[in-house]
């Protein structure tokens, strides 16, 4: 991996441990089931950020992994209440497959997200999702956190754009979004490489 990027905000977390939230964990891990999560933490009046990786093969497993990471953070910072751990970023590893999205599609998605999140608003989230026909859409919502934006996508995407979307990335209209995106792409290279080898079972 390259040297650590210069970050404006205080971050914690790494890709050394991936929490397997699947109901029936197996040795084989699909790239499609790996999620990078970015959290906003409020502790003793100060703001910091944290990121983690989980393995989840359905929405319930995703929620299980999210709750487990929130609880682990509460153990790390005993003065912080669970309600002060909020998901503000999410990115699924499948978007890094060379043949999953074309370069042009990725550029168009980034452009659409940038247009929707053109000014800071901590309660404005853009969600990139993919439909069963493999078409891509970007929808945005006013929401308290990224989890609410994911729920709203699952509930309302059919009405908004005529198709049910599987959320693959959530971005917040906040400068830290760029830092989480940088950390995701840096760590995703390592996770992806490990999962593409015969030793992938040693990742978690």
pLDDT digits (tens, 9 = 90+) for 49-66: 999 999 999 999 999 999
Distances (CA, A) of 107 to 86, 114, 135, 143, 146: 28, 10, 15, 25, 22
Distances (CA, A) of 38 to 14, 35, 51, 85, 197: 11, 10, 4, 10, 26
Q: Decide: residue 174, CB within 10 A, 0-12 exposed, 13-18 middle, 19+ buried.
A: buried
Residues 11-118+175-198, CATH architecture? Roll (3.10)
What pLDDT does residue 2 have?
A: 45
pLDDT less than 70: residues of the chain: 1-5, 79-83, 198-204
What pLDDT does residue 198 have?
A: 44
What pLDDT does residue 76 have?
A: 77
What pLDDT does residue 202 have?
A: 44
What pLDDT does residue 79 have?
A: 66
Output phi, psi for 182, to 5 deg: -65, -45
Q: Token pair for residue 5?
A: 């990027």
């Amino acid at each position: 991996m390259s040297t650590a990027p210069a970050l404006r905000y205080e971050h914690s977390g790494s890709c050394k441990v991936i929490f397997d939230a699947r109901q029936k964990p197996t040795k084989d891990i699909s790239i499609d089931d790996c999620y990078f999560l970015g959290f906003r933490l409020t502790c003793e009046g100060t703001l910091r950020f944290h990121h983690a990786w989980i393995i989840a093969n359905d929405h319930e497993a995703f929620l299980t992994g999210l709750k487990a990471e929130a609880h682990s953070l509460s153990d790390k910072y005993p003065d912080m209440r669970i309600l002060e751990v909020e998901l503000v970023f999410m990115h699924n590893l499948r978007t890094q497959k060379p043949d999953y999205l074309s370069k042009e599609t990725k550029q168009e998605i980034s452009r659409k997200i940038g247009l929707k999140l053109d000014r800071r608003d901590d309660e404005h989230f853009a969600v990139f999702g993919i439909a069963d026909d493999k078409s891509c859409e970007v929808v945005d919502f006013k929401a308290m956190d990224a989890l609410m934006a994911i729920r709203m996508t699952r509930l309302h995407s059919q009405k908004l754009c005529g198709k049910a979307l599987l959320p693959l990335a959530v971005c917040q209209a906040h400068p830290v979004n760029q830092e989480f995106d940088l950390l995701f792409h840096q760590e995703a290279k390592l996770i992806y490489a490990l999962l593409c080898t015969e030793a992938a079972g040693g990742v978690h």
